[in-house]
Amino acid sequence: MPRLIGWRVLKMAAMVLAIVVVNFLLIHAAPGDPASAIAGQSGQADAEFMQQLREQFGLDKPLPVQLWIYVQKVLTLDLGVSHRLQRPVLTVIFERLPATLLLTGTAFAIALSSGIALGVRAARKPGGVADTIIMGVSLFFYATPLFLVGIVLVLVFGVWLNWLPTFGMETVDVPLHGLARMADIAHHAILPVVTLAVFYSAVYVRLTRASMVEVSSHPFIKTARAKGATEGRITWVHVLRNALLPVITLAGIQAGHLIGGSVLVETVFAWPGIGSLAFEALLARDYDLLLGIFLCTSVVVLIFNLLTDLLYLAFDPRVQAL
């Protein structure tokens, strides 16, 4: 097992390097560079100024040289400096990370727990009233685009009822501290978290239910029942444990996106996380920052892939190939 993990980590390192190179080339393939983006935003440019900017960012060197410099820097964990913000990329990313983790982590936990619980409930009596309702609602949220859910929630709870704040992470005109601040942030988080959670929750419901129904028909469940196991034990231990594998796969994918955040939800709700940062960086051709965000998110995706595979092992000893 440790050898397997070691081998996987080695493969991951190679993968990260490939990602760095591909990302770098992709970004530089787009027309325009930071100098032109800066000139465009400030509405002024002369040849000397543009040249000065390009030298400052090292853009005057040939592309392979720029790539080589970048890869060397990444190997020493130096992700460079954001042109636009004039600050180190790592600092900027770590500044924005807590907001994203709070948003996506909460949404993930809610989606996973509610999805599994409702899926199990629906599978208990397929075709029953509870099943019909749960499946209907989940189909609705599964099919509705994320932005539409967000807009409707904002309209109903933000504008008409005026119960919930529609943007930002906290109240800023009155500085709050301690518990009051936590409550305030939670209040602000309701709409974006719900928007983000409903889609995944619907997916987990459908996966869990289908998987539960399938596993319930297996002979070993009959055996368990024949042994006299209680219905609760059969559902939660025998069926669910075996039914969870596809859910884990999907959860692994979603967890990989935790750091990337959701560009859409963060933008709509003005949530100061990584997603909106990536969006700004793209518009400003902020190469180092964008590459830094890509790198961090891809590393996290790889880590969660590994964790998912390990979880598979724990849940189903028959799975051996890593």
Whose Cβ is closer to other proteins: residue 94's or residue 140's?
Answer: 94
Whose Cβ is closer to other proteins: residue 165's or residue 252's?
Answer: 165
Neighbour-count burial of 93, counting CB atoms closer than 10 A to its CB (0-12 exposed, 13-18 middle, 19+ buried)? buried
Q: What six digits make up the tokens of 273? A: 């996380």
Q: What six digits make up the tokens of 49? A: 């100024």
Report the alpha-carbon distance of residue 277 to residue 302 in Å, rounded: 22
Whether 266 and 107 have beta carbons less than 8 Å apart is answered as no
Whose Cβ is closer to other proteins: residue 171's or residue 308's?
Answer: 171
Least distance in angstroms from the C-beta of 20 to other proteins: 22
Q: What residue type is 9 in one-letter code?
A: V
Whose Cβ is closer to other proteins: residue 115's or residue 192's?
Answer: 192
Q: What six digits make up the tokens of 291? A: 């590459």
Residue 34 half-sphere exposure toward CB, CA atoms < 13 A: 23
Least distance in angstroms from the C-beta of 287 to other proteins: 11
Least distance in angstroms from the C-beta of 118 to other proteins: 30
Whose Cβ is closer to other proteins: residue 34's or residue 119's?
Answer: 34
Whose Cβ is closer to other proteins: residue 115's or residue 292's?
Answer: 292
Least distance in angstroms from the C-beta of 65 to other proteins: 21
Q: What six digits make up the tokens of 189? A: 């988080």
Whose Cβ is closer to other proteins: residue 166's or residue 216's?
Answer: 166
Whether 89 and 96 have beta carbons less than 8 Å apart is answered as no
Least distance in angstroms from the C-beta of 48 to other proteins: 9
Least distance in angstroms from the C-beta of 151 to other proteins: 7
Least distance in angstroms from the C-beta of 184 to other proteins: 13
Q: How far is CA 136 from CA 111, 115, 131, 205, 244, in A?
A: 17, 14, 8, 11, 22
In the complex, which residues of this chain contact other proteins (CB under 8 A)?
Answer: 30-34, 36-37, 39-47, 49-50, 84-86, 92, 95-96, 99, 151, 154, 158-159, 162, 165-170, 172-173, 267-270, 272-273, 276-277, 279-280, 283-285
Whose Cβ is closer to other proteins: residue 76's or residue 160's?
Answer: 160
Least distance in angstroms from the C-beta of 93 to other proteins: 11
